[in-house]
């Protein structure tokens, strides 16, 4: 007879493998055209959504729906995956037709996930049509008092004919946060390669009840409550949205969200309220880039209808490399003060194209510190589009923009002190309200072929916009067409950088390699010397007060940077590079005082009438020699 402990140990040994071993990930098949209920295998698939919805899927499981077959009702599978093993929903079978889930108005979402995470959804077709409107969605992912939900992929999904009501809870695709007790947000959301067509009211959006913070104001019931919890790593890319009843894409309550390479057209088709193409609200550092938006409607009595909108509660929203055309409400809306006590700041709009947009290019209803630079705006003959329509509370710096205004529209109140204009090409008609710009150009910018698409807005040969812009810090590094833009010398005006991006050195023989000092002039003591920072020679000046100087041609009201290398022969000696006779106080870089080569430089701005300046290398202190080499003077 065995001891009891031994029996227990043997029993435990026999039971442990079966009890502890987790089930391997499985693939389940759904074919709603099957004639009999099956077990979910490929040979015997499930045949209805109820069976799927009763299943709690495990990490790594896959649900596949048969191509070309329609399942009626709501798809609401249960369970969550893991980071290493997400749950996947996809298609199987031959052909290219997607499997269809048709809610037929019987549920608020054709596909619904609630308080679940780590899901990847691919290759489906979702509809939710009905004779009358109600709150409905195509795909709804909802987190309620959940904490953080991770990893959601929606890829190549076609959502269409969703008969929602005129409420922002009705969508083609929405990621929604609800609840009030547990801080909740989404992390890692990717919606790509998908199409949303004929839905009401919104196309593709995020939404959250965890939205209250000072910049958002007291609207939407926030009062003094503070509970802002941002959605993170949200990416909407390479999607097509069209025939949308209201808004196209809305990024709400996000941190560093990204909306790129989407095509949105025929937007705001049915909703009587304010709607826009692609926009963001109550978000930090959102980026909208490489999108095309056209034919956004502006319904009677409304204010929006723009392609893009930086709405209220935003921080540092960025709109770049987008193509906007034929939108009834215009190109851009700043609505930073639209909500009660709300504000937005730091919106940047750069290197975009706007063609034949209507109503106004910019509708400004509040923004504390916006930059609009290096855009090309084309208004065709017969247009009455205003360049700016301002309702106050907006501060904007316009820099390096082309305004080709062949219509009759004006500039509203944009001539106020809250707006600055610099290096603008104003061409075509010049209304009395055209803003003051000391550096403006009023000549034809010589666009290649206006009205023929984006490439037609490139700068042609001999364009006065070439090399005539003002340096803007943090300019993004590229233009609309993908070309590099200069960072330390004058860029081209508009969205196309046609000129070389290397800065032209206005100094002749700045490296002292010509075999002579010419055109430098020697004062007191100066000569070529084999001591060089690069090449075979440099300039030697001194002892004090020796110098070499050169007269250079400059433009009035322009900023330049003088830079170079220097050293001295002995401690106690100083040599400087500087500029004088340019319309301002003589300016020099910090002195070179070491016996090894060091770099230095200084910026200066020419006077209103000055066309020349004098650049020098000067031994100003001590009994030793000073050396200068590789001197550059570039327009910035």
Nearest C-alpha neighbor of 246 from the set 190, 204, 289? 204
Q: Tell me the sheet residues that pair with 175.
A: 141, 206
Q: Taking a C-beta distance cutoff of 8 angstroms, is the pair 173, 203 a contact?
A: yes
Q: Tell me the sheet residues that pair with 115.
A: none
Q: What is the pLDDT of residue 22?
A: 63
Please report which confidence band the pLDDT of residue 487 belongs to, taking 50, 70 and 90 as the band edges: confident
Q: Which residue has the tokens 């070529």?
A: 528
Q: How far is CA 240 from the centre of its chain?
A: 18
Q: What is the pLDDT of residue 20?
A: 44
Question: For 564, phi and psi rounded to 5 degrees?
Answer: 175, -170
Q: Taking a C-beta distance cutoff of 8 angstroms, is the pair 604, 562 a contact?
A: yes
Q: How far is CA 579 from the centre of its chain?
A: 40
Whole-number Å distance between alpha carbons of 366 and 396: 10
Neighbours of 296 (CB within 10 A): 31
> Which tens digit of pLDDT belongs to each residue from 458-478?
999 999 999 889 889 899 999
Q: What is the dihedral of CA 155, 186, 55, 204, to 10 degrees?
A: -40
Please report which confidence band the pLDDT of residue 72 belongs to, taking 50, 70 and 90 as the band edges: very high
Element of type H or E holding 7: helix 4-20
Q: Is the confidence at residue 488, as pLDDT, over 70?
A: yes
Q: What is the pLDDT of residue 3?
A: 45
Three-state secondary structure of 310-339: ECCCCECCEEECCEEECCCCEEEEECCCCC
Sign of CA dihedral 71, 72, 74, 77: negative
Whole-number Å distance between alpha carbons of 20 and 261: 47
Tokens matching residue 283:
């978000």
Name, of 22-26, 409-413, 417-421, 514-518, the range with top average pLDDT: 514-518
Q: What is the pLDDT of residue 513?
A: 96
Q: What is the pLDDT of residue 557?
A: 85
Nearest C-alpha neighbor of 329 from the set 351, 347, 308, 346? 308
Whole-number Å distance between alpha carbons of 167 and 173: 14
CA distances from 123 to 86, 94, 141, 159, 171 (A): 16, 13, 17, 11, 19
Q: What is the pLDDT of residue 143?
A: 98
Q: What is the pLDDT of residue 4?
A: 41
DSSP characters over 412-441: TTTTSTTEEEES-EEEE---TTPPP-TT-B
> Which tens digit of pLDDT belongs to each residue from 310-369?
999 999 999 999 999 999 999 999 999 999 999 999 999 999 999 999 999 999 999 999
Whole-number Å distance between alpha carbons of 34 and 48: 9
Q: What is the pLDDT of residue 10?
A: 41
CA distances from 45 to 64, 120, 328, 366, 501 (A): 10, 21, 50, 57, 62
Q: Which residues contact 288 (CB under 8 A, 6 or more apart)?
A: 259, 260, 278, 280, 308, 317, 318, 319, 320, 322
Nearest C-alpha neighbor of 373 from the set 348, 395, 393? 348
Q: What is the pLDDT of residue 414?
A: 67
Q: Tell me the sheet residues that pair with 208.
A: 177
Tell me the average pLDDT of the chain.
Answer: 94
Q: What is the pLDDT of residue 415?
A: 58
Tokens matching residue 399:
């820099």
Tokens matching residue 498:
């046609």
Sign of CA dihedral 533, 537, 541, 547: negative
Element of type H or E holding 6: helix 4-20
Per DSSP, 262 falls in state: -
Please report which confidence band the pLDDT of residue 17 belongs to, taking 50, 70 and 90 as the band edges: very low
CA distances from 238 to 124, 224, 243 (A): 17, 39, 17
Please report which confidence band the pLDDT of residue 106 belongs to, taking 50, 70 and 90 as the band edges: very high
Query: For 168-184, what is the mean pLDDT?
Result: 98
Percentage helix, strand, coil for the chain under 3-state DSSP, each rounded to 5: 5, 40, 55
Please report which confidence band the pLDDT of residue 260 belongs to, taking 50, 70 and 90 as the band edges: very high
Q: What is the pLDDT of residue 621?
A: 93
Whole-number Å distance between alpha carbons of 149 and 37: 34
Q: What is the pLDDT of residue 19?
A: 41
Whole-number Å distance between alpha carbons of 587 and 128: 71
Q: What is the pLDDT of residue 262?
A: 99
Query: For 553-571, what is the mean pLDDT?
Result: 92
Query: For 436-462, what is the mean pLDDT?
Result: 95
Q: What is the pLDDT of residue 2?
A: 43
Whole-number Å distance between alpha carbons of 261 and 156: 15
> Which tens digit of pLDDT belongs to each residue from 598-609?
999 999 999 999
Q: Which residue has the tokens 């009595």?
A: 301
DSSP characters over 11-45: HHHHHHHHHHSPPPP-EEEE-TT-SS---SSSSS-
Per DSSP, 569 falls in state: S
Cis-peptide into 103, omega within 30 deg: no
């Amino acid at each position: 007879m065995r001891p009891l402990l031994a029996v227990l140990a043997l029993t435990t040994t026999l039971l442990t493998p079966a009890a502890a071993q987790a089930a391997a990930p499985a693939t389940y098949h759904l074919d709603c055209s099957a004639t009999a209920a099956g077990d979910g295998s490929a040979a015997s698939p499930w045949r209805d959504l109820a069976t799927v919805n009763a299943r709690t899927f495990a990490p790594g499981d896959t649900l596949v729906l048969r191509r070309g077959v329609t399942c009626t009702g709501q798809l609401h599978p249960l369970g969550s995956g893991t980071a290493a093993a997400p749950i996947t929903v996809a298609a199987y079978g031959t052909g290219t037709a997607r499997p269809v889930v048709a809610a037929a108005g019987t549920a608020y979402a054709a596909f619904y996930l609630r308080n679940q995470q780590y899901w990847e959804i691919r290759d489906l077709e979702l509809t939710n049509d009905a004779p009358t409107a109600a709150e409905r969605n195509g795909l709804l992912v909802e987190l309620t008092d959940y904490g953080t939900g991770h990893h959601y992929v929606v890829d190549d999904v076609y959502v269409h004919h969703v008969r929602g009501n005129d409420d922002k809870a009705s969508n083609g695709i929405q990621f929604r946060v609800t609840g009030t007790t547990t801080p909740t947000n989404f992390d890692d959301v990717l919606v790509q390669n998908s199409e949303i067509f004929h839905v009401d009211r919104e196309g593709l959006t995020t939404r959250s009840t965890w939205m209250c913070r000072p910049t958002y104001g007291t609207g939407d019931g926030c009062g003094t409550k503070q509970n802002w919890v941002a959605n993170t790593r949200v990416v909407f890319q390479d999607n097509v949205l069209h025939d949308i009843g209201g808004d196209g894409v809305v990024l709400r309550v996000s941190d560093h969200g990204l909306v790129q390479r989407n095509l949105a057209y025929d937007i705001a088709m049915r909703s009587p309220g304010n709607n826009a193409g692609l926009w963001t609200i109550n978000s930090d550092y959102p980026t909208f880039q490489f999108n095309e938006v056209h034919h956004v409607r502006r319904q009677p009595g409304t204010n929006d209808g723009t392609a893009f909108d930086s709405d209220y509660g935003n921080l540092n929203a960025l709109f770049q490399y987008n193509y906007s055309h034929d939108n009834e409400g215009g190109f851009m809306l700043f609505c930073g003060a639209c909500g009660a006590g709300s504000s937005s700041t730091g919106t940047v709009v750069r290197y975009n194209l706007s063609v034949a947009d209507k109503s106004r290019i910019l509708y400004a209803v509040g923004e504390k510190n916006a930059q609009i630079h290096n855009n090309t705006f084309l208004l065709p003959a017969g247009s009455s589009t205003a360049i700016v329509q301002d309702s106050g509370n907006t501060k904007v710096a316009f820099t390096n923009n082309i305004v080709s205004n062949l219509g009759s529209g004006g500039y509203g109140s944009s001539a106020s002190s809250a707006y600055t204009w610099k290096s603008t090409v104003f061409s075509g008609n010049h209304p009395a309200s055209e803003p003051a710009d000391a550096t403006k150009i009023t000549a034809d910018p010589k666009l290649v072929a206006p009205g023929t698409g984006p490439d037609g807005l490139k700068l042609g040969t001999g364009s006065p916009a070439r090399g005539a812009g003002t340096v803007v810090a943090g300019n993004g590094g590229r233009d609309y067409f993908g070309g590099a833009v200069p960072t330390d010398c004058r860029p081209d005006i508009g969205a196309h950088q046609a000129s070389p991006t290397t800065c032209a050195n206005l100094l002749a023989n700045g490296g002292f390699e010509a075999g002579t000092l010419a055109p430098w002039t020697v004062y007191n003591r100066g000569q070529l010397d084999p001591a060089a920072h690069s090449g075979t020679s440099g300039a030697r000046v001194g002892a004090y007060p020796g110098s070499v100087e050169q007269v250079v041609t400059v433009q009035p009201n322009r900023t330049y940077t003088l830079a170079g290398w220097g050293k001295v022969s002995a401690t106690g000696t100083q040599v400087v590079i500087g500029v004088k006779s340019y319309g301002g106080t003589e300016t020099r870089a910090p002195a070179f005082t070491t016996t090894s080569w060091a770099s230095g430089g200084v910026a200066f701005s020419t006077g209103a009438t000055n066309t020349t300046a004098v650049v020098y290398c000067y031994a100003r202190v001590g009994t030793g020699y000073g050396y200068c080499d590789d001197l550059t003077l570039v327009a910035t």
